[in-house]
Amino acid sequence: MTVPPDLDMRYPHCTVPVFFADGREPAELERAVIRPLAPDRIALVSDANVFARHGYALEALLAQAGHVVATVVLQPGEETKSPEVAAEVAGAFCENGLSRRSLVLALGGGVVGDLAGFVAGIYMRGIRYVQVPTSLLAQVDSAVGGKVGVNLHDAKNMLGLFYQPAAIWVDTRYLATLPEAEYHGAFGEVLKYALTLDATLYERLAALPAVAAVRGDAAFNAELVRRCVARKAEVAAADETERGLRRVLNFGHTAGHALEAAGEYRRFCHGEAVAVGMVVAQELGRRLGCVDAAWAEASIACIRRLLPAPALDGLDAGALLAAMTHDKKWSGSRRCFVFSTGPGRHRIEDDVPAEAVAAALRHVLAADPAASAWV
């Protein structure tokens, strides 16, 4: 008997079932998702930290169900998301006899999901993969929507594909073992949805005294993840290849990706960088008249109150602006920025002056430490 998904992401060429695992037994991942796909082999891709916590149990479950499993364990960290590591993973697939009937199981956070999905998309011109995100960031964002890829030098996700998974299995119980810093950092992506697409979610988050208040609230986290996945599913299904509406999901990412590169992908986690990027976007929108001044102030205050406060010392606005030229959303003189114009509302501008971007960057970087949580 086929187990029905909780949500279907419908694209013109395929449908991606999404399963929310809360209340389900772990073995249902095999019964509901993997068994119907009937793979001849499974490549379980994870990183060392996640595999130590969750991988052994999943590996044993798959073997007990009769599957042939090859395990590929990666080093944690953004540095792993590289063409060189992708080639090594593809080599491991080949050595373990993966065929076009095989399945890649991506167990981990955004780095694992992006890398495993990318290799699945190019190995033998594409084999199936399933996303099993274990971090809040991956559950609300990177595992959903079919964008996979690796970094090229300092350019984030410069090599990539739109390649949809065969299924997505979202189990918020994994969040109980997530390091506190990773949980907090992921709220940059959560607030992105609230500020641009989901006014109800914004109201819930704006009422929180701090992120720590819901860190261990399983019911809140389950609802939070479901709402974020639903919003991203709506946007991605309407605009799979990011030609129009899907660009809203880049709110905070233009400056955020530049910040990650400036910190060599070690100084700032992705969620922290996105949070700073959202502050830059709202300050820029206020200066351009795209965002009401009162809302710009209120939204920035909400971001600062809820999210970690990374130190921005030593960063240069000119260098960040130069890094933005590598952003995929910028083409020649076209500088695309996304703004929040109210709770759950957004505006996309395709031709933002570089001097205005530089001024907003300088303002955020030079903010008075006594008045700002960002420096």
Closest to 190 (Cα-Cα) out of 275, 263, 120: 275
Q: Give me the helices (H) in 207-340, please.
A: 218-238, 253-262, 270-288, 293-306, 317-324
Rounded to an integer, what distance in angstroms lies between the CA atom of residue 39 and that of residue 14?
19
Tell me the β-bridge partners of 149.
160
- What is the DSSP secondary structure assignment for residue 197, as one 8-state letter? T
Residue 192 to residues 105, 141, 282, 303: CA-CA distances in angstroms? 28, 10, 12, 10
Q: Is 314 helix (H, G, I), strand (E, B) or coil?
A: coil
- 359-362: long-range contacts, CB 8 A cutoff, minimum separation 24: 359/287, 360/280, 360/281, 360/283, 360/284, 360/287, 361/255, 361/280, 361/317, 361/320, 361/321, 362/317
Residues taking part in catalysis: 125, 147, 189, 232, 242, 246, 250, 253, 257, 270
